[in-house]
A = this chain, B = another copy of it.
Amino acid sequence: MAEKSESSRDAILAAARREFAARGYAGARMEAIARRAGINKAMLFYYFSSKEKLYQTILHEVMSEFFTQISGLVTTELTPALFMEKFPELYIRLCADHPDFVRIVAFDLIHNPDNICAVMAGIISQMTSFQPHPLFELIKRWHEKGLISEADPIHFMMNIVSLSIFSFIGKPMVEAISGIRVASDKDFYRKRVTSVVNVLKQGMLK
């Protein structure tokens, strides 16, 4: 019985993730989530008392996954060069493997930044393995030692994150404008990593 209940809950979460990713919060339909999960709509409200609550659960799940993965990076003996290699590598793979996550987070960043920022802050404060402040201090020291050219850690990170993530949102746009369609997504993202790492190391390493 516990099994059945678990499978229902999981089915709901999986279906909800897809639906929210595909249509955004306002566009998502509880009915559609139920159908996708192969259950009755009333079940949704049995397991999750409201649309809002279901959404927050998903959001939390998604963000946790991301931060857990990233925390693995920062523990290493970090050099700027290593960081600029490993971060895009990890981030681009992560986004490519979980396209739904990117859409959900991006949507919330655009339309509900306060909420998602609160969720992030909550997750970070609960994690013992990853605290961002030391990372930003480290970046500052890298510049003081003359290892990197960008003095402001915010812009340093922004450059890395931009190059890593944006293609997942902007790819269709660049394709539409250029008229060039990338042949295979897998190849595209592999090439993306090398291009990003090159630009970063050449562009920000002193």
Give residues in A with beta carbon < 8 Å to B: 22-27, 103, 105-107, 109-111, 113-114, 116-117, 120-121, 124, 132-133, 136, 149-150, 152-155, 157-159, 161-163, 165-167, 169-180, 182, 191-192, 195-196, 198-204
Contacts of A199 in B (CB 8 A): 150, 159, 199-200, 203-204
Contacts of A111 in B (CB 8 A): 22-24, 27, 103, 107
Known A-B contacts A22-B111, A110-B169; the reply to A179 vs B132 at CB < 8 A is: yes
Rounded to whole angstroms, the CA-CA distance of A117 and B26 in the bound complex is 23
Identical copies of this chain, number? 2
Known A-B contacts A24-B111, A203-B203; the reply to A170 vs B158 at CB < 8 A is: yes
> What distance in Å separates the Cβ of A99 from its nearest Cβ neighbour in chain B?
10
Rounded to whole angstroms, the CA-CA distance of A175 and B124 in the bound complex is 13
> What distance in Å separates the Cβ of A117 from its nearest Cβ neighbour in chain B?
4
Rounded to whole angstroms, the CA-CA distance of A25 and B25 in the bound complex is 11
Rounded to whole angstroms, the CA-CA distance of A117 and B132 in the bound complex is 37
Rounded to whole angstroms, the CA-CA distance of A159 and B24 in the bound complex is 27
- A162 contacts B170, C-beta separation under 8 Å: yes
- A180 contacts B109, C-beta separation under 8 Å: no
- B159 contacts A163, C-beta separation under 8 Å: yes
